[in-house]
Structure 1
Amino acid sequence: MTEERFTAALAALSRPSGGSESLTEPILGIIPVTGASVSTIGELLGMESVEASDAIIRRIDELQFDMSEGPCWDAVERGEPILEPDFRHRPRGMWPRFSEGVRVHDVGALFAVPVSLGTLRVGAIDLYHRDPIELDDEAIRRLLIFGGVIGRRVLRRALESTPDAADEVSGGGRHSRYRIHQAAGFVIAQLGVTADDALLLLQARAFSTGSSMEEIAEQILEKRLTFSVTGAVIEDRT
């Protein structure tokens, strides 16, 4: 039954929803914690709390952004789960300012996993529980899968306000389409993503910089722009 619920949760997160469906409710239906949030970190999508299930997890996100430290930062930097099963009594992380801010809240355990697209990490899922709690290997595996599915949803949400961006791949001249797909091939090689995800990343970069996809494609093909796995965008203007 649990596996069926997990499959249903993945299906809910994978559906095109026009931005109306929750990102955190499917997670909380599977992972036994009190609250969850989804945030973006890095140059591609900026730093933002995309969704938080309650006021405490929203405050946890705010503290991490303000202090530039905490489990979400480590999850993005390391590309692995950050587990604090007894944060209240036996914290493992070295986050002095963040930890001091969280202690005033009813937080017994903290967890974070990367939100990713292939090897590109664009944010994190943060979770907390009121009491100390251990997550088993299966729960962690499911969280990592959630992170991959949510990575695509977050990118698509960012592009919803610019529907014309998607038309640039199929529209325009033959040369323009060829250059965009050629640049997508570079991104596939850099990050190990699918062709569809590579095009999604080109759209996201074009959206965030106010550029056309053809302009972004030329920057990539001229090796003036690359993506790092931590979500940073590296530009070489020399």
Structure 2
Amino acid sequence: MAVAGGTSEPGAGQAGAAWLHVVRAMERAAREKSLAERHERLAAETGREIHTTMARTHRGVEERHRAAARLQEAYARRLTDWLAHRGARPLFMAGVAEACGTRSAALTLVGPDLRQLSIAASDQFSRTAQDLEYVLGVGPATDATRGRRPVSASGPAVDELWPGYGAGLAALGMGSVVAVPLSTAAGCIGALTVFDPQPGLAESGVLTGVADALADGVLLGPDAEPGLYGGTDLRVVVHQAAGMLSEQLHCPVDDATAIIRAHAFATGESPEAVAGQIVSGDLKLN
């Protein structure tokens, strides 16, 4: 396994960082494996349940580190190949979608109040779907985050659960969706959503495993990459526009955000496009 380096090319630096994260994640996995094996031996020798429990815990942590390493390696390989051949720059979320067995996946990160802070998507389809959910204020990621539980729907059930969302999803050529929360010991930091997943994915545990690896090994932790190597959109302009609109209309920021979302839905524009017009003074809302 070679680590890229020796160049000032930003992409090469990111590839090198990703390879380094792979090495460190595998080292942590090896330590957890050693601890698990020790407790497995003790469980066999003593028959004590505590060692069985500890072994199971260490095995779970080991797998999360290995899953994080696989995600980092997938991105590092894509980026290394891109440096050699150029073309469209790879996105970290493309590897996440691949790990989930689907072509489209999106990540939503929220704050302590569960208000959306940023998103990342594997492609334009998933980005548009997440913008639709943000505009409507309802959808799978929202429910997975608030309920801290997996949610899934397909066909007509999508629109029954989230009015307007199912029709929008169908217009994008998608018919089913699954979302799982990104849970940590401190709470929920967001959700991972996949579109048109393979049958049985929701029940397989694969999606939850990828979400755990993202939460514990990529977004948080000693080698955290919360920006996913520049692949996240912080929706800064939306928050800025909501603040300005709140002052202009003398209303709460949440109400101002809802107005921006409603206008985006009515015009078919993205929330960022509407917010940009408000910030520039080209659009007045009341």
TM-score (normalizing by structure 1): 0.51
Between the two structures, name the one with larger relative contact order (CA 8 Å, sep ≥ 6): 1
| Structure 1 letter corresponding to 2:147 | R
Larger radius of gyration: 2
Q: 2:135 aligns with which of 62, 66, 72?
A: 66
2:122 is equivalent to residue 79 of structure 1 = no
Structure 1, unaligned stretches of length 5 or more?
A: 1-5, 161-238
State the alpha-carbon separation in 1 of the partners of residues 120 and 113 from structure 2. 18
| Structure 2 letter corresponding to 1:157 | E
Q: Is the 8 A contact 1:72 1:124 kept in 2?
A: yes
| Structure 2 letter corresponding to 1:30 | A
State the alpha-carbon separation in 1 of the partners of residues 150 and 159 from structure 2. 13
State the alpha-carbon separation in 1 of the partners of residues 149 and 159 from structure 2. 15
Indicate the residue corresponding to 1:151 in structure 2: 215
Could you say if the C-alpha distance between residues 158 and 71 of structure 1 is closer, same or farther in structure 2, counting changes exceeding 3 Å?
same
State the alpha-carbon separation in 2 of the partners of residues 93 and 63 from structure 1. 16
| Structure 2 letter corresponding to 1:68 | G
Q: 2:181 aligns with which of 96, 110, 114?
A: 114
Instruction: Work out the percentage of aligned pairs sharing the same amino acid.
Output: 21
2:122 is equivalent to residue 53 of structure 1 = yes
| Structure 2 letter corresponding to 1:36 | A
Aligned residues: 149
Deviations 1:90-135 (A, max 9, x none): 4375211323332321002111111122361111111102xx8522
Map 1:126-205; keep pairs closer than 5 Å.
Answer: 126-129=193-196, 133-136=198-201, 139=204, 141-152=205-216, 153-155=218-220, 156-158=224-226
| Structure 2 letter corresponding to 1:99 | G
TM-score (normalizing by structure 2): 0.43
The Cα shift of 1:54 comes to 0.8
| Structure 2 letter corresponding to 1:41 | V
State the alpha-carbon separation in 1 of the partners of residues 190 and 121 from structure 2. 14
The Cα shift of 1:35 comes to 0.5
| Structure 1 letter corresponding to 2:144 | A
Comparing 148-157 and 120-129, the one that deviates more: 148-157
Aligned to 1:29, the other structure's residue is in SS state helix
Structure 2, unaligned stretches of length 5 or more?
A: 1-63, 80-89, 229-286
State the alpha-carbon separation in 1 of the partners of residues 125 and 131 from structure 2. 10
Name the Cα RMSD after superposition. Answer: 3.6
Q: 1:102 aligns with which of 161, 169, 174?
A: 169
Q: Is the 8 A contact 1:71 1:112 kept in 2?
A: yes
